[in-house]
Structure 1
């Protein structure tokens, strides 16, 4: 029969997850819901094996083996908590909550329920990012001096999405924060952030910025730099650099990297720029969701890990990133360095 999986939220990412699940041999049936009834009708009309449900409770009542949550950020706590209360494992797009305090409460409830909850961190399933982590883990770089994660989108999302996003650090840069923590290892102890607006005035109206940079100080002394922007007309740019005392490595430099090289002696990059995150990380996202299905189905991992544990992101790890995002948000508004223990104590 295969697994029965629920999908809550059928927007851009939810629709991608639905396509992935329907193509997976381990999945037999998919039950979907969305706050927009037309989205449910579109999904059930396009695909066989998809059943529409009025809400998350109806999806859970169908006896699903797992729930994939891709609904808007402000509405993810309820389906997570309903699912774990029903004993159903969860895969949730980040962020899981709108603040680190709220994510701490979700973390506690999930721990008490003892039900697997995975938070989406698809970059961990990108081969180059994983190779960078492996290089750091075995000491190929010596001690890490600095790591940089850059994410630039070609255009901003609708202002209706920005209004309920929680800000650029909670909504957008969480993947960069997680990547640096996962690759470098160790705790972040302090954050300094800055940002600004030169595009749509809606960002300012929503107390947000369209471009930002955060400097992370790790307990080891390593420095992390995160640069993000909603405006990069050439395409979707996502890159990682890790510099150490004996070597340096990069991930995300390929022939579709959306930069224009002005060196006349070099033809790199030569391909069509990446158009979006779903374009850039399509295979990584499929691998990640495949490993979630393997986890709940009791099968061997679909994407073998060279490490002692699965690269799937736990709620505990997601909460640590939420603390960094809140520290960056506070630093942006108060224009000062913010320690992580200050945010954790709130």
Structure 2
């Protein structure tokens, strides 16, 4: 459901950015689908918990994974808000605030030795509160009248056009989880748990880059209809904003990897410190890659983006296959960094060729 919701939401943004007909009803249905996906994830978690109890480090990892899932969905209402109010400048700021609130309170509940369901409960209460406020904003600022009624052909066209965006999200999910899967096939469970914990600590910071890149998406779609120079200028502005966040954040994560790993997953996973330091380098390239991915999508090259992301997944699998046997969790981390650099170089070359072609 989350993959489908992502596809709907991206197609909605594309049509709105291109000034195509989008109804207020479609906006609300897309919004509800994404919120529903969060509760489906929680229901799946409840089934998982029925087979517990589980070790404390695993509980903490799952808690942060759920926090990442919830916060990742929060960009949707504000993207729509910037579509109707043209205030993309505030989107990244609000996304950052939401991240700090959810992750901060998750840390508080963990520190108080709360159960996993208590942690998820706190996250959902916050999600419901923020979601309610955003929904009121959307209802207030959306267009007062809808265009002509949506026909069956419109629905089919919308689903067809949304499919490539949903496929992109599916590739992301596979990419972000395949390293741990391959590690589990080659190394002991303790090493897998250490890697998964360190990875989640670092990867949750990807959300900031995702939010910043997506705050530029409506403007990029709109500029894609005009002179290429204006589109490239907007893309350069987005990459500069990502650089301003990614480089300092990666530096902080690299320096404080030790306290973060020991404080969140425990001192018994000391080996995760080195893994986290390696992965902190990936933060820079992952944030850049979010931006370059949006440039490909908004310039009408979604198929190229899907091909490039498929290559990213395959390259990552190959790197894991050769690095994990000799280097274990550190090898999986190096594979992630290597794959991100590969995607960055490929997408950068494509953008540069498009800029110089005109």
Of structures 1 and 2, the one with the larger relative CO (CA 8 A, separation 6+) is: 2
TM-score relative to the length of structure 1: 0.26
Higher strand share: 1
TM-score relative to the length of structure 2: 0.26
Higher helix share: 2
